[in-house]
Structure 1
Amino acid sequence: MVKLGIRLRRAQAHDTPGSTASAQVPSAIFTRTLRGRFNLRWAPNDASPRSPHYHYDLPLAAWPTKIFNRNHDEPAQRPRTRTRRRQRPREGGPPPRGGAPPSSPGAPQAGSGPQARGGGAPPPRGRGDFRGGPPRGGPRGGAPGGSVIYAENIPATIPPRLSDASHAQLIRSFTTLKSDPDRPLRPGYGTLGRPITLRANFFAVRVPAGPIFDYTMEITPKTDINRLKARIFFLLEQSAVCQPMLGYIAHDRSQRLVSARKLPQPLDISVPYYEDGETGPRAGATVYTVSIKFDKELDTESLTRYLNGEVGSRDYNTLPIISALNLVLQQHPTRTGVRVGKNKHFFPTADEPFRLSPGIIAFQGFYTSIRPTYKQLMVNVNNCMTAFIEPGNLAEALLAFNRNSRGAMPTLPKAFAKSIKVTTTHLGFKMRKPIKAIASTSARNTFFDCEEFGGKISVENYFSRKYKIKLSHPADLPVVDIGSAKRTNYIPAELCEIEPGQPYRGKLSDIETANMIKYACNPPRVNAIAITTQGFPALGLSPVRPPTGGFNIGVDTEMAVIPGRELPPPGLTYSRGTANARNGSWNIMDVKFHRGATVKSWWVLVVRDGREMLQGQTDPQLKNLVTKFREKLQRSGMQIPEGLPRLLATPPLQNLQDASREAALKEIRKVITNTLAAAKNIKPDFILVLLSYRDNYIYPGIKRLGDVDLGLHTIHMQLHKALGDERKQDQYLSNIALKVNTKLGGINHLLDPGAMRWLTKEKTMLVGIDVTHPGPTSREGSPSIAAVVASVDANFVQFPASLRIQRPDPNRESKEMLSELRDMLVERLLVYEKKNRALPQRIIVFRDGVSEGQFDIVVREEKAQILEAFQKLSTEARGPKPYRPLVAIVICGKRHHARFYPTASNLADRNGNTQPGTVVDKGVTAVFDFDFYLQAHAGLQGTVKPTHYTVVYDELKLTADELQKGTNDFSYLYARATKAVSLVPAAYYADLACERGRYYLNDFMVDDRTTSSGRGNLDREAEKAKVFEAARVAWGAGIHSDIRESMFYI
């Protein structure tokens, strides 16, 4: 412990952002809240020379939030200052104008965002610019220096366009339109819950008055190489013809250009090609011609009528003009930063990035997207993080990744290597090339035919003789192939520089993911400040940068203020008593499962994987743990035999040569099948599998063995969690008990009857649908996996699943729409009929994983298959009347960037997030469509993210209150937790089922090979077809019949 003397002075007028102030408080003991974030220097204590103190200089905004006195009993009081209230740091810029865009012509005049006032500097910017992101916000998400609420002291006034009368008028106008279940009109706005006022990360946009001119672009001679096209368009912008236009044109570097002015026609611009690093085109260089041809005018007046909700504009296609406006707003950050995907821009710098692992770093960026809302065009701006490949010498990257290798030639993970583009300079100029493959041989041992030097020559000798380059790693590092599909071109790794600004396309490891979360997990106030103070200048929104100003587009610098509501939690019932949800969670210490499952027999399998924490069946720790687990199941209300179950253990499985654990899985199979044979094939109700830690091969392998091959429920327990202190152990065992009871058909808890009435008034089945796709680390040609789950009971607790694999669409790596939805839904309906002796009269489908651009495809393709399933069940055996239940389809969107911020402390949780049950259906939602945002769960850390629900088909004529409250209540019925979840459970279960399906094909989904060998397109397609066929064979008949009607995936 160190005593600190700190002097506080009032900030002076000449203080600059980032300047420090000193504070003098009684000697106090600082705890770890300092976290090394402040500059330390030694200084004598003038007040008490006998007791020297440390002296800290720190920004006022970074003042630690916990200062403890000597007794450690309670926090010491923060020193009072004489700084007047109006001098507090300003977060929100000028007072809000009700969300209206700036009225003056040209760019908004609000400057570059909020500025510091009076008594301090603006909040710290992490590691500077975008290197380290925004400040972390102190302990448990609290904001440094006090309030956890963004712009709490700035009035939040809901604009007139969002008044109840305005919305009521809009809904009345809809009654003049024909009612249609396809893409239904909003039936009304929700009324239930406590009204609240929120800020949202949406900013008002002024629509330009005149038309926008839309053009197509074509390159001659044609090229499909993205790197080459990007360079051509870069050179196009440098041309004398194009330079004067840059203030009023925007283009996508591919096929489209939009302009605020009419361009001359025809417009053909010659672009002599040369590489970056060359001073100009060489003799004989290729000259490309970019032809810019007029396509159409985009009328902004039609967009205004749509925004105003005029019923004649309901079918107006907003996509052309919205995408044009997005092009304009994204032009500046695309030129100055790195674009990832369509809407994310990052601004990496070379110093002090956040390191996720050797060779992989992370940067903060910002997402932007124009959104049409009622009476106002908005731009959604949000923080985002992504991983990048660390720039530097490729040889150093190889050495860093292979520090622990045992003599093999160094290489890179496949997902890492396939992402890399490198620069070489040995030709006298910079040449950028993607890595096609990393060889398994060094420069000394790699040979090729060379006429110039009279036959075969090694890569080492070639570079020595041709370029006078002596290699530092001729024998210990591999060469890399930067050639084409038809021709190899080997080059030593040490002559390759990894280009900066390259996103990492692979899947992050568990450690990398944890580091990313640590970096990205900032409280809402901190993220909001980053958007307005860092995001706006970087994106060219304030001050406005070309070409936005040239299009006469203005963007308000104030976050939108919108109305919202807080829905109350439902009542929860157990076998004995009830539980009260508070902040989205509840305690089950004194209650029992509503219906406990019966266990006749169970086994325990100890997997000795070389890191074992137990020494086999006789270990006393094992017997103690198993006994505690049995007692936990009994106390929870399950029926289970007294005494110890059958205890099994594998032989030691550690084998350094068995990287994919194939031999280990054979041993595990052998132990289980031998025990089954000894038990005369009488299966236990479940096997408790004890692993020291999560294993990316053994865990999926055991799930496949149990679910597909043997028809056995397996429950995994990680010993490093199970053998912890008693409090943590009890919680961990409780969580596993929830899974066991659900798998075996029990009911953990129910909602009170009132919360379920909207579903139980007629026989209703809830359906969840999702599709998961191969990742960057999967073998090319691996299938997508589709899941359909559906309720089978009147309590909406049990959701068995159907799984299928499906071939990707032609020329794509995945397929989002389900190919076999009809048959999968028939399976679910037959199980429902078996359990209930009748088919459901209503079906509500919650569809996950669909982007907004695919909504119409869902209605067209998947709805058709749903109706075909009903036809297939309309047989004479069920009566002469065709089976035709009413159907609603709701899309559940998590891949959005809408965030909501409380406007007062009493509306927030301790981290500054909105409370569970927050629902928003005004201000930032669609004009005509039936959609809303719902945050049913509590945000444990970082900034909480709601789910966006959109009704795309509705024969049930659901009301806003029914669906909003019903979805919020249903979020408390997730079987695996005593918390409300962020996604409606039907969709959540479908996601879990998809993930389980990935485990069955783990050998295909996790491919540890390095880069491909650069085959031609025909060979590549043939190889992908072989991989898919092999996966189909491996999938076999799917889920074993013994567990098919259970929630095996939970």
Structure 2
Amino acid sequence: MAERGRGRGRGGDGYASRGGGRGGSGSRGGYGDGQGGGGRENYQGGRDGYQGGQGGGGRGGYQGGGGGGRGGPQEMASRSSAPREGVAPGIYLGGQRVPQPDPEITATEDKLVASTRGHMFEIGENSAKVPGRRGYGKLGTSIVLRANYLTLTTAYESNLTEVPWFRYEVDAPNLHKERDAKGKETLGFSRDKKCRLFDQIVAHSKFNGIIWATDNSKIIVTNKALPEVGKVPGWIETIVLPPPVGNSQNPTPNPPPNADQGAVARNTVKFKVTLVGSYAPRQMIEYLKSTTNGATYGGAGDVVQTLNIIMAKPPRSAASVRDVGQNRFFPHEGHPGHPGQVAGGSHPGCEKYELGSGLQAMRGYYASVRPAIGRLILNLNVTSGAFYKPIPLEQLINEFGGLRSYRDMEKAEGFIRMLKVKAVYVKKGQSAAFMVKIKTVLGFERNFAEPKKIVVVTRFSDAKGTKFQYVDRRTPDAPAVATSVKDYFYNIHGITLRRPDLPVLNVGTRADPQYLPSELCIVLPGQPFKRLLNGDQTSEMLKFAARAPNQNAMSIAGTANAPGNGVRLFRLRDTPDLQTTSVEPWGFRTGVDLITVPGRILKAPKVVYGNRKDETPRIGSWNLSQVQFYKPGRLRRWQVIVFSIDEQRGNALTPGDPEPLFNELGRTLGRYGIKTDQRGPTQTITLEPLTEVNRATNDRAVETVYRNAKKNNVSLLFFVLPRADKWLYARIKYWGDIKAGIHSINSVGSKLQKEKGQPMYLGNLALKWNIKAGGVNHIVPNTFVKPLDNKTMLVGIDVTHPSPGSSGGAPSIACVVASTDEHLTQWPGSVRTQAGKREMVDGLADMVEERLKLWQKKHNGGLPDKIILYRDGVSEGQFDQVLTIEVPCFEAAFKKLYPPKSWPKLAVIIVGKRHHTRFYPTRQQDADTRIDRRTGDTVGSWNPLPGTIVDRHITGRIIREFFLQAHQGLQGTARPAHYTVLRDDISFEADELEQFTHNLCYLFNRATKAVSIVPPAYYADLLCERGRAYLFSTLAENHGSESSVFNASGNEWTSGVHPNLAESTWYI
């Protein structure tokens, strides 16, 4: 490796140097949900969902390469074909006896709820107060479901000797990212360096004879007290960390004195370990089993965290398992050279699937201990994620798109930025490496122009053009010599580069570069891709992750004869009994079977269209046949714009007269009752190819369309496009929503012209059309029943954040939507940018005031008596912030608009989507199935039926919460929505709130089916996505380069929408 830095210094360890400094080595973590579920679950780089393949006896185990057992990784089907499954969709453990839900838990719940009703309880660091549970729901048909939880039983509950838990915290200078007095963030230790530090600490003799576990970040827990380590002064020691696993090299000939002095200094760490506290599991269990509302246990949070650290130790200790984010673990191909790696370099539970463009999907597991009424339970779930392929870096870049142009290089640099690679040094004519180094890619070396140079031929520097000075260690007192990277590797290492014309990697820092040719590098396995997947990759990810409920359940738990890969990964079940060494030394055991819970299926409401025609939903859906909209809207003039592209297959429509098609669209609108005036002449416009170099030209074309439409008093433009394109969509919406104030609807020509299903497609367009025109598509009668009435306003709030690929300093986008009519059809909203990564809404009082004033305008000066807020996107740890930061903003708006003693009653309900609770039917009649008329086979998703609700056995002691799967889970394992009540001035009974929430899911106005979350939260999410479109280049198109930084003052948009649209649901 070649290195350049600030000031002259010594070369060392096989590379040249002009100074000291080194690059960071941290990997990137975390990403997203991988459940294929129904309705609206989308992929963003991958978030959760791994699971084991079914082989062997028809279920849990992996079949090995040599005839059985658990051999190497399971390579899934190639791209464009669905992954193979070893078990057909059906009922998990169908035909076996179904254990009934634990009656003792039910009895404890009933006793406890009698004492929580009508009382307030404190939560969080700010001691915010929430209402206690008022009761449990009873409406609906009772059923029994399996849930992806295992019981956790302590030694105390089994009348055995308890094992105490001791919790220690580790500190060291710059261990974590921090902000100094000026607000500047320090880098902190890389992930790898933290792991090396904690490995050294637990290898100390103080841990002899002691069982330990650690999060490799801050906390160490033990089953015995560490000798002579207390709270003050603690254990303080200085150590030198070993090099990263995988680094190796032959000794340097005649090394100068203190050649490694810089490396030793960088890896010298002074750490401090202090005792935080000790815990007896008995106290936690007594608290959970208590039936009095005054029972408290201050250590509950620490105990749960301790248990999660203990549960994570087996996968964290495995050589070829990568932990990503919180509690997610992915078996992968194996870390090269890691001691103890399995034969072949892969974990036996490794499953992968090609996504294209250098990425692959892998399956892993999520595990989290949860406190429930009367017991502790362990949540285990399948999770999927997108990872870089562990292949030569040159091959990875070629699969991503190559380096044909400067723009390709920019994209590739963003793609590999912060990627960890193994640099393998092999001399010409030899096969064995004489040196291996693990490094992190900062990017390509840039060829910066000299101050007075006018022309710069290239902005990325190759191995011939990248030059630096180095000192040859092999010669005492050698002078600094100028050389290129190409010559350096030939003269110093005897390596002739095959491609000296490719950009050189910088694996140091900008100020202190270290150079590597990409042809020497191999991508290390298990590195997650954190940015947005493209459309093709998303489709492939769904093929991989969307699996039937029983297939996921089999992978999690399996059976006694074939344990699932989930319980095996955490060493909870196998032959022999692995719990004797994994969790039993800590004084507890887990169950090995998924628990059963009581559930109910709520009856679907009727939906009513025009002329009082009602429809009875079947399995959560209905159709538009022979109906008119309940209240047709009216738009003035509308016009069709056909965009073609000047490229092969760039025509939006097939040759021929398109007017009959557009006339049929107009007749369809009329059949549903929508009133439109004259349709303007169809306009066909040819755009330049949709490449970045043509964007300015194409953007002007879109602007011109809207300018002309405005002159002609057009109310809605219907765009027909040759294909879906995110940039073009974003610009159509920007110019229409922000600048011109004209509604727009987009359609891909091939879908519009497709004869099969065309009436349904046109009907779906009509749904959007009518909402934009201010109409009402359908209603659910008696939505507002006791304790609600027609003076109730519903509010939805969501915040969307920049992704890792966004521009530097990119903002978050906050949205507030609110109903304005008694039918809950129109949902205008406020949208604006705010500081990036901030979840609590800035300026919320003004946004709430805007919504109330519009309600007032639509109701002859009246204001709502009741307001129900469905807040999306908030984690459990932020509940108290909603109550202490956002609720006061509502009260500030009330203070401005309401008389002092006439404020509305407010209910605040959190909508959770990113949880890991899943349910599995235990009987076919409770599952979403049907008989195929052609084959006679039973087919379907095998998910619970729409309307399935669970509010017992897995919920907490105090706060009211329930899980509701209102929708039909068409693809994969359905994910229920999780609702948590943080404030309830309205005093809902359990059945009232649960039924109201369920009915709302049938009022999403651009669909003829129940949706997975309530419309207020859904609409807020849609408005956030529209805001992202307004800032498309900032939020979606920066590929990791350091040069792109968001500037709010100079940006096209920061808040609001054109006044012509502000009172409509323009974003639908």
Gaps of 5+ in 1: 1-112, 809-813, 875-879, 1014-1022
Corresponding residue of 2:590: 555
Q: Retained in 1: the 8 A contact 2:814–2:834? A: yes
Matched residue, 1:362 = 361
State which of 192, 200, 209 in structure 1 corresponds to 2:139: 192
Is it true that 1:273 corresponds to 2:292 in the alignment?
Answer: no
Pair 1:518 & 2:538 matched = no
Letter in 1 for 2:768: K
Q: Does 1:953 align with 2:983?
A: yes
Counterpart residue number, 1:385: 384
Question: 1:949 is aligned with what amino acid?
Answer: Y
Aligned-pair CA distance for 1:624: 2.1
Q: Mapping of 1:711-722 within 5 angstroms?
A: 711-722=741-752
On the 8 A contact 2:820/2:827 being kept in 1, the answer is: yes
Q: What aligned pairs does 1:95-110 form with structure 2 within 5 A after superposition?
A: none
Q: 1:761 aligns with which of 785, 789, 808?
A: 789
Q: Look up the match of 1:973.
A: 1003
The answer to whether the 8 Å contact 1:125/1:135 transfers is: no
Equivalent in the alignment of 2:842: 819
Q: Are 2:643 and 2:719, in contact at CA under 8 Å, matched by a contact in 1?
A: yes
Q: Which residue of 2 aligns with 1:474?
A: 500
1:208-223 equivalence runs, <5 A: 208=155, 209-219=162-172
TM-score by length of 1: 0.81
**1:365 aligned counterpart, secondary structure:** strand
1:889-916 deviations in whole A, cap 9, x for unaligned? Answer: 0000000000001111111112221000
Change (3 A) 1:599 1:207: same
Q: Deviations over 1:55-95 (max 9, x none)?
A: xxxxxxxxxxxxxxxxxxxxxxxxxxxxxxxxxxxxxxxxx
CA distance in 2, matches of 1:133, 1:520: 14
Counterparts in 2 of 1:114 and 1:299: CA distance versus 1, 3 Å:
farther
Equivalent in the alignment of 1:844: 868
After superposition, residues 396-435 of structure 1 pair within 5 angstroms as 396-403=395-402, 405=404, 410=409, 412-413=411-412, 415-426=414-425, 429-435=435-441
Amino acid at match of 1:1046: S
Structure 2 residue corresponding to 1:735, chosen from 754, 764, 783: 764
CA offsets 1:81-113 (integer angstroms, 9 cap, x no match)? xxxxxxxxxxxxxxxxxxxxxxxxxxxxxxxx9
- Structure 2 residues not aligned, in runs of 5+: 1-51, 65-69, 123-127, 156-161, 177-187, 230-234, 252-258, 334-344, 426-432, 446-459, 473-478, 558-563, 930-940
Give distance in 2, aligned partners of 1:539 and 1:413: 37
User: 1:395/1:1036 Cα in 2 relative to 1: closer, same or farther (>3 Å)?
Assistant: closer
Distance 1:130 1:743, change over 3 A: farther
Instruction: Report the counterpart of residue 154 of structure 1 in structure 2.
Output: 96
Corresponding position: 1:592 with 2:622: no
| Residue of structure 1 aligned with 2:527, choices 502, 522, 525 | 502
Judging changes above 3 Å, is the alpha-carbon distance between structure 1 residues 617 and 438 closer, same or farther for their aligned structure 2 residues? closer
Letter in 1 for 2:623: N
How far does residue 214 in structure 1 lie from its aligned partner after superposition? 1.1
- CA distance in 2 between partners of 1:583 and 1:774 (Å): 37
Describe the SS at the equivalent of 1:761: coil
Of the structure 1 ranges 228-237 and 275-284, higher mean CA displacement relative to structure 2 is found in: 275-284
Structure 2 residue aligned with 1:3: none
How far has the Cα of 1:222 moved from its partner? Answer: 5.6
**Residue number among 111, 115, 124 corresponding to 1:173 in the alignment:** 115
Distance 1:527-1:134 versus aligned 2 partners, 3 A rule: farther
Q: 1:598 to 1:692 in 2, by over 3 A?
A: same
Alignment correspondent of 2:374:
375
Residue 872 (structure 1) aligned to one of 866, 878, 896: 896
Residue 727 to residue 422, structure 1, CA distance change in 2 (3 Å):
same
Question: How far did 1:632 drift?
Answer: 1.1
Distance 1:411 1:131, change over 3 A: farther
Q: Which whole-Å deviations, capped at 9, do the CAs of 1:155-189 have from their partners, x for residues lacking one?
A: 22334445654432222222585589932111000
1:122/1:617 Cα in 2 relative to 1: closer, same or farther (>3 Å)? closer
> How many angstroms apart in 1 are the aligned matches of 2:437 and 2:976?
45
Per-residue CA deviation, residues 269-308 of structure 1 (Å, 9 max, x unaligned), is: 6643221245799975344344322111223233113211
Measured against aligned partners, the alpha-carbon deviations of 1:315-342 in whole angstroms (never above 9, x if no partner) come to 7462111011100001111121110001
Once the two structures are TM-superposed, the CA of residue 958 in structure 1 deviates from its matched residue by 1.1
Q: Which has the higher contact order (CA 8 A, sep 6+)?
A: 2
Letter in 1 for 2:760: Q
1:182 aligns to what SS in structure 2?
Answer: strand
Change (3 A) 1:419 1:522: farther
Residue correspondence of structure 1 range 899-914 to structure 2 within 5 A: 899-910=918-929, 911-914=941-944
Q: What residue number does 2:808 align with?
A: 780
SS at match of 2:821: coil
Find out whether 1:344 has 2:308 as its counterpart: no
Q: 2:851 aligns with which of 828, 851, 868?
A: 828
1:446 and 2:466 are equivalent in the alignment? yes
1:1035 partner SS: coil
Residues 573-582 or 399-408, more deviating:
399-408
> SS of the counterpart of 1:651?
strand
Partners of 1:741 and 1:748 within 8 A in 2: yes
Secondary structure of 1:632 counterpart: helix
Structure 2 counterparts to residues 1025-1036 of structure 1, below 5 A: 1027-1031=1047-1051, 1034-1035=1052-1053
CA contact (8 A) 1:415 1:507 kept: no
Q: Is the 8 A contact 1:307 1:376 kept in 2?
A: yes
The one of 1027, 1033, 1037 aligned to 1:1007: 1037
Counterpart position of 2:561: none
Asked if 1:933 corresponds to 2:933, the answer is no
Paired AA for residue 904 in structure 1: R
Matched to 1:288, the amino acid is: V
**SS where residue 704 of structure 2 aligns?**
helix
Partner in structure 2 of residue 536 of structure 1: 567
Residue in structure 1 matched with residue 221 of structure 2 by the alignment: 258
1:1049 paired with 2:1013, answer no
Equivalent in 879, 882, 889 of residue 858 of structure 1: 882
Which residue matches 1:34?
Answer: none
SS in structure 2 of the partner of residue 867 of structure 1: helix
Q: Quick one: distance in 1 between partners of 2:247 and 2:86?
A: 49
Post-superposition Cα deviations, 1:929-986, rounded to whole Å, max 9, x if no partner, equal: 1000000000101101000000011111111101111111110000010000001000
- Provide the residue aligned with 2:906 in structure 1: 887
- State percent identity of aligned pairs: 31
Q: Deviations over 1:801-825 (max 9, x none)?
A: 00111013xxxxx100001110000
The CA RMSD measured in Å over matched residues stands at 3.1
Q: How many residues align?
A: 903
Contact 1:130–1:363 (8 Å) recurs in 2 = no
Q: Does 1:461 align with 2:487?
A: yes
Quote the Cα distance in structure 2 between the aligned partners of 1:400 and 1:966.
50
Contact 2:794 2:1016 in 1 (8 A): yes
Task: Please state whether the residue corresponding to 2:682 is helix, strand or coil.
Answer: strand
Residue pair 1:402, 1:410 contacting (<8 A) in 2 also: no
Counterparts of 1:365 and 1:153, CA distance in 2: 28
Distance, in Å, in 1 between the alignment partners of 2:676 and 2:764 is 17
5 Å-filtered alignment, 1:637-652, equals 637-641=673-677, 644-652=679-687
1-structure distance, mates of 2:403, 2:517? 22
Native 8 Å contact 1:574 1:592 kept in 2? yes
**Deviations, residues 510-545 of structure 1 (Å, cap 9, x unaligned):** 111110110011100000000011111112222227
CA deviation vs aligned residue, 1:385-437 (integer Å, no higher than 9, x gap): 00111112212222332358358774554552224112224495443222112
Matched, 1:227 2:174: no
Is 1:604 matched up with 2:634?
no
Change (3 A) 1:594 1:314: farther
